[in-house]
Structure formats: C-alpha cells, structure tokens
Structure 1
Amino acid sequence: MSFQISIGDAILLAQIAWRLGQTFTKGRRSAPAEFQEIENELYSLSAALTAAENELGTAQPSADHAASGNHQHTATQNIFEQVVRNCKHTLEHLEEIVKKYIIVSEQTDPRKPKLERWSHSIVKNWRKIEWTTEKGDLNTLRSQVMIHTNSLNLLVNIGTGYVLSRKRKHRSNYSSSRTASIERSLDKKLVLLEELHQWYVDNLKDTTSKRTTDSVNVIHISEMAARAPNSDTVFTFELTKNTAAGNEIICPYASVSNEWIESFLDGALDPTSGPMFFCNCLDRDSRAASHQPTVQRYGLSHLIFPIRIASDDGSWILYKTADRASNQLVDLYIRKIHPNHIRRLEDTFFRSLSSRRGNTILSQGVGNGLCYLSAEDQEEHILQAMSDLTISRQSVESIRFINGRTYHIQEWITDLQILNYGVRDFDASIGSRPAGIIRSLDYAEILISFDADDARERGDVVSMVLKLTRNTITALTQQASVEIKSIDAVGTHSDVDGQTTAHSGMDVIIQFTTKSAAKEFYDKMEAMRMELFVKSLRYPRSNEKVVLNLQTARVECESVYIDDAEITIVVDANAKYRLIIASRNGCTLISQVLVDDFFTSPSNRLNFTGPTYQVQIGDTGERTVYHYKDGFRHLNLSTTKANRMLELARSTVSFGIRDYKQ
C-alpha cells in the first residue's frame, strides 16, 4: 500500500536505519562477520536520508515559482518519494527480522543498558533467512540499502543544483537563455537518475527471486559478503610489554576474548568482566606453549586508555592496563594486527573505549593529557595517537624560541611529548562513519613541559605546545639538535588561571644531549607527520567539503584491486576536486587530485591521470605509501551499473561547476 511522503518521513527513516545499525553493532560478536557490512550500510543510509531531508525537504518553491509550474521541483520530489518508499519497505522488513531474532536481556543493575545479542537460530541459519521482501539473501539486502544510499546522495546533488539555478535565474543580470539551458540540463539528469534508479530496482527484483547460491546466474552489486572470512576465523596480534630488560612478548598470537568483547559492546566497562585476552598459540601449533595463564592476568582498569602509536606498523598501546597478578598498572602494546582485522578492532574496541574513558574523565570535571576541554575552541579533545619516545624525553639540554629578531632560551625542560588529539564530532558523518565519532585534528602537539618552580619564579610559561602539521619544515643537524621552522605555538603561564599566549611563525631549535636522542625525536616527529599526512588523504581536510559519497563494489586499476569500496569526492576553497577511494576493511586507500577537466570534459572516457597517493596495509599490519605522479591509465568499477552511477555523479557535479562559472 502506497503512502504520501511528508516532511519528516525521511528523518524518521534515518532514525530507524540508525537504530538498526546499532542493533547490528551491539550484536556483532554473536553474529557472522557479514553483519558488519550491513551495519556500515545502515549508518550510510541514515546519513544519506538526513542529508536528503535537509536539502530536499526544505527546498520548497516560492508562490511565484509554483505558479509558473516548477517541473524540476516536482520531478525531484517524485523521485525523492520513490526512493523513500523503497527505503521504508526495506527497513520495515528488516525491523521485523530484528524483532524476531534479537534477544534483549535485562541487567541486574537497572542503571546499566539492556544486553542485546542475536539468537542462536540466526547465527546458525542466517544464510537461509529471507532478508528482503523479494526473498533475497543478506547480500541482496546490502545491495538494496546501497542503492538507496547512492540514489539519495545523487539526488541531493541534483537538488542542490536546482536551488542554485532558481537563485541565479532571478538575478537581474542573469539571462533567460542561460536559465533555460540550466533547466534543460536538470531535466536530463532527473530523467537519467529516475531511469538509473528504476533499472537498479528492476534488476534486483529479477535476480532476488533466485537464491544467490547460483553464482553463475545472479549478478551482485557487492561481492564482499560472499568473500568475507568465516565468522569463526580468529584474527590475532602480538601482545607485548616493555620491561627494564626491553620489549617482552607476552603472546605472539593473542586475540580479544569473545566473551569479554561481547560484554564490552553491550555497554559494560567493568573490571570484573573477565579476561580481556585469549592465547591462540595452540590452535596454530599443537606443540607450542600456551600463554593463556599469562594473558588472562590483564584486564580493564579505571584508568585504561587506548592510544595509537604514530608509526607505519599500526601498533597500539593500552595505557594503564590492570595486571591482576602483580596488582600493578602496566602499558601493553598490540602489534602485528592482521590487516583484515585492523578496522574492526579499531572501530569496536579502541575508539569505543577511548570515547567512553573520555566521557568518564570529563564527567569528573577535570581534564588531563588523555582528554580535556580546549580553551581555544571549547571542544572535547581526546588523545588518539602519540609518538613512543624513550631516551629523548629526558635528554633535552635547551630549547631556543626565535620570533623575528628576538629569541628566548629555556633550559629547565622536564618532559617532551608528541601527541595527536581528535574532537568529538556530533554533527558530521562521512560515509559509513556515524556522527559522534572522533574527528582527528590536522595537527599534532609537541608538548614541552618546563620546571614549574622555575617558571613561577621567573613569571614564565610552564608549558609550550608547538602545532606540528604535515607541511611543517623540520631538520636534523650534526650538532645533536632538531630545527623546526615557522611553527605556531601556544604557551601556558604558571599563574593560577593558566592564561595562554599564542605565537605565530616561530622557529624552534631543540638541543639534545646526544645525537641518538636527537635522531630518535626527529624520526618520531617525522612518523607523526606521516600519520597526519595519511589522515589528510583519507578524510576531508579543514578547507574541503564533501560533494559526493557513493558505496560501490569492486574498483580496479593497474595497481589496485579493491573488492568493496567507498568513493568520496571533495572540493577545496580553490575549486580543486579530490577523489578518495577507501576499502571497507581499511587496508587500501587512494587519494587523487582530479584533473581540471574531469567533470567538464565531454568525453565518455574518464581521466584519472591526476597526482595520486596510495596507502597500503600489508600482511602484518605495516603501512606503505606510494606516489603516482601521473595517476592511473584507467580506473574501472566492477559493473556496468556502477560505472553508470559514477558517470551520473560526474554529470551532477559538472552541472554545478558550469552553473557556478556562469
């Protein structure tokens, strides 16, 4: 039965998609690995529905526009309603499945959230369930959700162009011929979008009548679910700790305990929730020694905090982990994470834990180096990454701060750290990343601490923060010093109020006591700059905005084969466009500056020869960055419909460019 779309329907469906995504998140450990892909798509659909309602729901024509017969607006609304109807049918059917197979358990403590997990029936028989109204499987469900998301994002682009054209039409110096040209272009794109979306839906209906076990006759939009690792697969990492004798390996093939992570995902942050880690050495070699008695010593403490180490090996540190055997708090290192597990471990464990610990720290009314309320922007800053300095922290002889023709020398340095913070972003969402995640800052803080007594006696600053960016110029000298050119800094004074003073474009020379200390600091600083650079490739920069986000299947070029990709196009203040292609498992990233005529060229052959960076995660978690000055000779999506979707995206963006120039 059809229904009339009203203002707010898309927002309601966005909330439903978000809630369903959370259900797949909370029940993740009791579910197959394929469920994470549905979770990601639901979050993306929620973001697309919200954006579409904000853009199209408020783009109502004025009375004079309506009187003149606004066919573009009517057509846009008609397609919008069609997409929303399809979303409603998909989500309502999925809601019924969730209600049938999710188990909700009350906690003994009413203050704790309810526990949610998938029933044993769905874990065992999920491949047999009819996930869509057309009796399709899980892969078909994901394909449908992906279609809705892409159609909404493309529709928003066209809707934006429509509003812009109406505004420009009513300028006194805007010719009617140009307006007519714009409107004709819009008509073509609306027709193309309607045909493309209908073709997608019809294609799915034709194929979902057959179960996807017949891989020869069924065409998939995405093949990731079919190729996903078995849900029983255990991904391992190396668990180590630093001792006085050096780095000690606790277990070479450790994993997070299934029972512990399930309790954690259900909302528990309880030190009594059992062993955090599990040893898998016997599963790999029956003759190997088991480290289970050792790894189960470690668990949550009230001070535990996960921090990524700025390096190319993808290591993390669990700061102040509880050692139940020694009754001490120790720092554990997680290294050599399996590439198929990196993103899941980071999303479900590390970032979730840091966010919860940040909430706890701020709720106590005082911040610290792990989480604090910034005096500059009043945002919550949560520590994300740090450089693992050892000898250089206590080996600083002096620091010279140079500002123009004046300079100041500090000799009583008590500590030196390199830290990268993120801020909680409650408004924006990018692709499958939901709002409320931690958004990385585009600079790292070189935190220099001075002797507090000496600072008070001299009325000087007690600390100085240097804002290191990916473009900061640095140098290592033969005199055991590190030079940093034209860097912004903020000094905190020793008075009770902790007043701050900002400095711009300072030159800083850090003198160390030994060459080895200077080299360690320089190498770690460069590793942090690489960390900032990679993040700048993956996400929109401070001067960029997202113009398009699409979910697709396979992406192929001469050096990359991505089985499941997310495509984002951003534009900066200088109208330079950048293409971001990221694999869903986080192992591959492509960032390309698009050539000037990428959108406006009449040729059907897309040009991908702009400067390109590729970031690749290897088998043991190591990261390598490649640079292709001339980009790729070709870049192709896996199916005809996916390539048509990209061509439509190019057309919608090119319209905005032509209209802006007019």
Structure 2
Amino acid sequence: MAFQISLGDGILLAQLAWRLAQTFTNGRKSAPAEFQAIEHELYSLSAALTAAEGEQNNAVSGNETIVDKYTIVSEKAAPQKPKLERWSHSILKNWRKIEWTTEKGDLSTLRDQILVHTNSLNLLINIGTSSRTASIEQSLDNKLALLEELHQWYVINLRDAVPKRDTASNSLIHTPQQPLWAQSSAFISTFELSMKKETGDDITCPRASIRSEWFESFLDSTLDPSSGSMFICGCSDRQVGEVSHQVAVQRYGLSHLIFPIRIASGDGSWMLYKTADDVSNQLVDLHIRKIHPSYIRRLEDTFFYTLSRRRVEAILAQRVSNSLCYVSQENKEQHILEAMSDLKISRKSVESIIFRSGRTEHVQEWVDDIQILQYGVKDVGISTNYTQTDIVRWLEYAEVFVSFNLEEARERGDVLSMVLKFRYNTVTKLTENASVDITSIEAVGTHMDGSTVAHNGLDVAIKFTNKLAAKEFHEKVESMRMDLFVRSLRYPRSNERVILNLRTARVECETVYIDDAQITIAVDTNAKYRLIIVSRNRCTIMSQVLVEDFFTSPSSRPNYTGPTYLVQTGDMRERKVYHYENGFKYLSLSTTQANRMLELARSSVACSIRNGEQ
C-alpha cells in the first residue's frame, strides 16, 4: 500500500493526547474553565488515534517525556494524606501568554486544530471500514496516500508548535501572546458606549474601549466588583474642540448582578445589564454598539461570553433561577439568555392580547410587561466555555414573554405569565388598528401555583395603545425572526449531525472571498447534506444544500450548484441576505490540506452510500 507513515508516530501522539487530557483533568478544580473544553477534544483525539492504530493492527511501543518533564500540574502531599493535584500558580497566572499554536492564537484556535486532526482520523477509519467491507483495496490505497500528506502537515504543525529551548539555561522559551487590546492594529478596538434611559440612549463615548489593566485582571481572576472602571475613552485622536469622555466612562464597573445580553438587531450590539454606576450608586444598563467587524469576535469570545459563563455559574451555584438563566425541570438543561430585542415603547403599551383556537376566543388584559427573548441550551453534565460553539444547541425558536398583573391574576385565578414560541418561518402581520397578529403559534401559560399548560396552533393578536408601539414591536419580532433564520444557516440544526469540521485558510467563489474560514458538512435525518462556511470574524455565512451526486460523482471537482444562502455583514454592521438558486460555478479552497480533507470526507460518505449505510 502507499501508506508509509510510521504508526509509532500515531501511538506516540495518542499517548501524548491522552496524557495531556489527564493533565487537564487532574487539575480540573483549579484550572481555568476554558481548559475543560480542550480536555474533551484531547480525549476525542486520543480515541481517534487509538482507533486508527487498531485499523492497521500494528502496535509499536514508544515513550514520550515532554508531558512528564513540563507538566503544568503540581503535586502537593501532606503527611498521611493523599497527593493533591492542582494547576501550578505560575501557569494559572500566565496561561493566556503561552504560545499554544503556530498562529500565536488562543485556546479556541488550539481546539480548532485538535478538531481537525480528530476529524481526519475518524474519516480515515470510516473509509477503511467501508472499503474493507466493499473489498476496494485500491480506493483505500488512494485515501491512505491522502492521509500521508495530512500526516506530514500535522508533523509540521506539531514541530512548529513546540516551544523553543534556551540551550544556556535548559528552559523553555514562550513567546508571550499579546493581549486583546495590544494586538494587530488591523482591527479597530473601540465601540460606542451609551446608557439606556426611558427616553432613549444617552451616548457616553463614541470611541470607548476596555481598560487594559482591568481586562487583564478580568481574564485572570473571578468577578470582583472592586476591580475598578471597565472602560476608557478612546478619543485620543479627537478633533479640535471635541470633549474628552474619560471622566464619564470611568464611572462604570462590575456589579454582582451584571449580565451581558446580545441585542437581536443584526448589527452586533450588546447590552450590559445592571452595570454598577459608581457616581449615582445605581445599577444601569449600558449599550455597546458600532463594534468594528474585525474586533467583534475577539470582544465576544474573550469578554461577553466569558462574563456570561461566570455569571451563569454564580447564579446557578446559589440554586436560584431567573429570566437570565435557569435549569429546566423537565430535562435538566441550562437555559441561558443569549439575545433579546430592545423594546423602548411597546413594553408598557400593550392594551390587550386575544388568543384564538378554532371558534374559541380568550382576551387577556392588565399586561404588565412584554419582552422578546432567545435562549441557548446546555446540558448540565457538560462543562464548557459557553461560547457559541460550546452551547449544545441553539433553540430554534424565540419567545414573546408576557407577564400579567399579579393581583388581577390572583383574583381571577388566571395565568400569571404566557410564553409565545415563534420560529423564523412564523407568520406575523402589522394591522391598521395598532395590532400585531401572529398565526399558529405554540403558547405555554404559567399559573399562580407554578403549573403550566401548553397550547398548540393558537392565533394571537397583540393590541397596543398606539400605532408607533405596534410598529416597533412588529419590527423587533421580524428582526428576531431574521436572527433565527441566520442562526439556522450558521449552525447545524437539531435534525442534523456533523460529518466534517475543517479550518482552512481561504475560500473563494465568483461572489465571495473569505480569508479565514471554518467549513462544516452536516447531514440530516433524510440524508440531505448541507455545506456551512463561516468566516472567522463571523461577518460572512454561507449555507448550501449539496447536490445529490456531490459525494458520488466520479469527477474530482465537487459540484457546488446547490441552492445557497449567503449572509454578509458590512463595516457598519448592516446585514444582507442573498439567495442563489443555482449555487456557484466554482468554489476553491486555498490549501492542499483543506482540499485533501474535503476529498477524504467525500470518499467516506461515498463508501457509506455504496454500502447502503446512508
């Protein structure tokens, strides 16, 4: 066969991956939470390597001393007590400065690389199994040759990722990774900061940024309200006559109730709910808007989602639930508020709500509040980083949450609140009489005793006191529906499973150029395949239904003419959605490794189809 890779390398890698995962596990209680996601991927990589070894039925002994020599878990033993394993103090203090990858990236990049390696090995195993069943040795030879190329790529990556050694002191030299605020000037790290008021937003600073000393402390420690001001004014290049906002932005800091919430407007805006105002001694809501596209991913991953994770842990540790996060009693999943609509006038302007089911009609008045919310879901048994890729799944619906007057509900023995679940294809209509009609929606009512009653296929009419309030509410519902639609394009759906995850350097077609992209291929329960391409800055999303012969066509050039949706976000965070019924004439992956991985995926699925497994 053409496969000439030393399986000793594979065994060594499997051992190294397993022992690294053990290192992460042993220090779990004292490790930064971001490491725990890496632990899961390392175990998966170890399992894939071990499976690949079994496929070849060739065991080669070996040893590896790098983990033992440079372990980052320290052992402490007291007399007559077992050893305690914890992450060493120096690592806990400086772990974000270690150069983990060839791109000098963060842990998310390391995790991406591990996923790529694991995925390719699993593809090889699938090809080997299917090929052996179908007795097509030549096909296996070709695919093993492809894996040999991939192996060389991995060896180069692993070699380049090993820290350089200072021969004089015999110690490792780590190149410190620049912090978020000091990285390449290719992106703009400022944003508009404003305080939310009943009459509208009051802009505090049009070019605010996160204070570097505060951010370093935030990354390395727990939430501490005494850590000082979060923001600084970035108007150092202000024009003559422009006033500095330094004093204004320095008044805001952490509180024990702060929570980040994304605004479902398509422009990448966020709200910091219940931020401490040191001047007024109040809790205020801050809006962060106009984040530059090149900066939003870093800001979301290192600040908003990290803050959300810590706040969720703190809330659930107190065994309390609220609208920000709660544990479902039905399936023990954590529901985490991910996005909401910014309603300014319609929240307090509902006159009545009419529920219709067939010929039955029920009118609810005395509405106290109405909100539009969207949750993400995570199983309580999985410890992750609460980033977008870590949430087990996104709920494919959003909620119109309506709360009724408590005294009125108690007097009438009626529902205390109602949740209306709408999806991206739910039909809504703004009427001339200041009403928003929603057709065939699922509703769940909660009574005074905590019991719930579900209703399916309800028609709902929400009547407002004025047309302006009705128009605002309808626009926000439509914006959330678009948000749900874009998310259905960007992520695997509940009826889909992922068969390929690939990080590549560049993707090009006749209308799109993505310099750094993540590629996913998913298949649903009806054996329909979908290609998902997302740029690293998340400003471009492509979702294509793959043609039927995408995997089985004898042509070496894949066919990308399936129906395609393209979502692009501009510099001003404006979002546009395009539909290409006939896809693209060509789609090019820039690196040999990416094309080889895609070919492995096509071969794996083709073998399964030939064997009747799809």
TM-score by length of 2: 0.82
SS of alignment partner, residue 267 of structure 2: coil
CA distance 1:188–1:427, shift in 2 (3 Å): farther
Q: Distance in 2 between matches of 1:43 and 1:446?
A: 34
Q: For structure 2, list consecutive stretches of 5 or more residues without a partner in the other structure.
A: 1-7, 74-85, 165-176
CA distance 1:14–1:588, shift in 2 (3 Å): farther
Q: Which residue of 2 aligns with 1:154?
A: 120
Mapping 1:475-490, distance limit 5 Å: 475-490=429-444
Offset at residue 241 of structure 1 (A): 1.5
Q: Which residue of 1 aligns with 2:223?
A: 269
Q: Which residue of 1 aligns with 2:368?
A: 414
SS of alignment partner, residue 448 of structure 1: strand
2:134 aligned with 1:181, yes or no?
A: yes
2:29 aligned with 1:12, yes or no?
A: no
Q: Which residue of 1 aligns with 2:583?
A: 631
Q: Which residue of 2 aligns with 1:334?
A: 288
Q: Distance in 1 between matches of 2:268 and 2:401?
A: 23
Offset at residue 626 of structure 1 (A): 2.3
Residue 373 of structure 1 aligns with an amino acid whose one-letter code is V
Q: Distance in 2 between matches of 1:331 and 1:205?
A: 46
Q: Distance in 2 between matches of 1:202 and 1:6?
A: 10
Q: For structure 1, list consecutive stretches of 5 or more residues without a partner in the other structure.
A: 27-38, 60-71, 100-110, 166-177, 212-224
Q: How many residues align?
A: 577
Question: Does the 8 A contact of 1:570 with 1:577 survive in 2?
Answer: yes
Q: Distance in 1 between matches of 2:383 and 2:506?
A: 23
Offset at residue 179 of structure 1 (A): 6.8
Question: Does the 8 A contact of 2:263 with 2:271 survive in 1?
Answer: yes
The farther-off stretch of 601-610 and 371-380 is 371-380
2:549 aligned with 1:597, yes or no?
A: yes
Q: Distance in 1 between matches of 2:108 and 2:411?
A: 65
Offset at residue 142 of structure 1 (A): 11
Residue 243 of structure 2 aligns with an amino acid whose one-letter code is A
CA distance 1:369–1:200, shift in 2 (3 Å): closer
Residue 514 of structure 1 aligns with an amino acid whose one-letter code is N
2:337 aligned with 1:383, yes or no?
A: yes
The farther-off stretch of 629-638 and 149-158 is 149-158
Q: Distance in 2 between matches of 1:205 and 1:382?
A: 37
Q: Which residue of 1 aligns with 2:455?
A: 503
Q: Determine which of 130, 150, 155 is the counterpart of 1:197.
A: 150
Q: Which residue of 1 aligns with 2:358?
A: 404
Residue 460 of structure 1 aligns with an amino acid whose one-letter code is D
Offset at residue 334 of structure 1 (A): 0.2
Q: Which residue of 2 aligns with 1:50?
A: 43
SS of alignment partner, residue 458 of structure 2: strand
Mapping 1:33-112, distance limit 5 Å: 48-54=41-47, 57=50, 74-76=54-56, 92=67, 96=70
Offset at residue 158 of structure 1 (A): 3.5
CA distance 1:4–1:653, shift in 2 (3 Å): closer
The farther-off stretch of 613-622 and 391-400 is 613-622
SS of alignment partner, residue 517 of structure 1: helix
Q: Which residue of 2 aligns with 1:32?
A: none
Q: Which residue of 2 aligns with 1:30?
A: none
CA distance 1:478–1:441, shift in 2 (3 Å): same
CA distance 1:432–1:331, shift in 2 (3 Å): closer
Q: Which residue of 2 aligns with 1:173?
A: none
Q: Which residue of 2 aligns with 1:29?
A: none
Question: Does the 8 A contact of 1:56 with 1:159 survive in 2?
Answer: no
Q: Which residue of 1 aligns with 2:425?
A: 471
Q: Which residue of 2 aligns with 1:312?
A: 266
CA distance 1:18–1:231, shift in 2 (3 Å): farther
Residue 50 of structure 1 aligns with an amino acid whose one-letter code is Y
Question: Does the 8 A contact of 2:230 with 2:254 survive in 1?
Answer: yes
Q: Which residue of 2 aligns with 1:622?
A: 574
Q: Which residue of 1 aligns with 2:561?
A: 609
Q: Distance in 2 between matches of 1:372 and 1:264?
A: 25
CA distance 1:245–1:153, shift in 2 (3 Å): closer
Q: Distance in 1 between matches of 2:24 and 2:577?
A: 36
Offset at residue 194 of structure 1 (A): 3.5
Q: Which residue of 1 aligns with 2:510?
A: 558
Offset at residue 340 of structure 1 (A): 1.2
Question: Does the 8 A contact of 1:383 with 1:419 survive in 2?
Answer: yes
CA distance 1:587–1:651, shift in 2 (3 Å): same
Q: Distance in 2 between matches of 1:629 and 1:20?
A: 51
Offset at residue 456 of structure 1 (A): 2.0
CA distance 1:113–1:619, shift in 2 (3 Å): farther
CA distance 1:433–1:96, shift in 2 (3 Å): farther
CA distance 1:628–1:22, shift in 2 (3 Å): farther
Percent same amino acid among aligned pairs?
Answer: 52
1:37-95 deviation per Cα after TM superposition (whole angstroms, max 9, x unaligned): xx9xx9997655433545675x6xxxxxxxxxxxx97444659x89x99xx79x859x9
Q: Which residue of 2 aligns with 1:361?
A: 315
Q: Distance in 2 between matches of 1:119 and 1:12?
A: 19
CA distance 1:205–1:410, shift in 2 (3 Å): closer
Q: Distance in 2 between matches of 1:54 and 1:202?
A: 19
Residue 279 of structure 2 aligns with an amino acid whose one-letter code is A
SS of alignment partner, residue 531 of structure 2: strand
Q: Which residue of 1 aligns with 2:172?
A: none
Structure showing the higher helix proportion among its residues: 1
Question: Does the 8 A contact of 2:336 with 2:375 survive in 1?
Answer: yes
Offset at residue 267 of structure 1 (A): 2.4
Q: Distance in 2 between matches of 1:404 and 1:619?
A: 48
SS of alignment partner, residue 459 of structure 2: strand
1:91-125 deviation per Cα after TM superposition (whole angstroms, max 9, x unaligned): 859x95989xxxxxxxxxxx9996845499x89xx
Offset at residue 200 of structure 1 (A): 2.7
CA distance 1:14–1:624, shift in 2 (3 Å): farther
Offset at residue 193 of structure 1 (A): 4.0
Question: Does the 8 A contact of 1:182 with 1:659 survive in 2?
Answer: no
Aligned CA-pair RMSD: 4.2
Question: Does the 8 A contact of 1:392 with 1:521 survive in 2?
Answer: yes
1:250-269 deviation per Cα after TM superposition (whole angstroms, max 9, x unaligned): 00100111111111111221
SS of alignment partner, residue 249 of structure 1: strand
1:155-203 deviation per Cα after TM superposition (whole angstroms, max 9, x unaligned): 213424656x5xxxxxxxxxxxx97525537633652343223443577
Offset at residue 469 of structure 1 (A): 1.2
Q: Distance in 1 between matches of 2:254 and 2:110?
A: 40
Question: Does the 8 A contact of 1:282 with 1:289 survive in 2?
Answer: no
The farther-off stretch of 553-562 and 154-163 is 154-163
Q: Distance in 1 between matches of 2:243 and 2:566?
A: 40
Q: Which residue of 2 aligns with 1:214?
A: none
Q: Distance in 2 between matches of 1:430 and 1:627?
A: 35
Mapping 1:159-174, distance limit 5 Å: 159-160=125-126, 165=130
Residue 511 of structure 2 aligns with an amino acid whose one-letter code is S
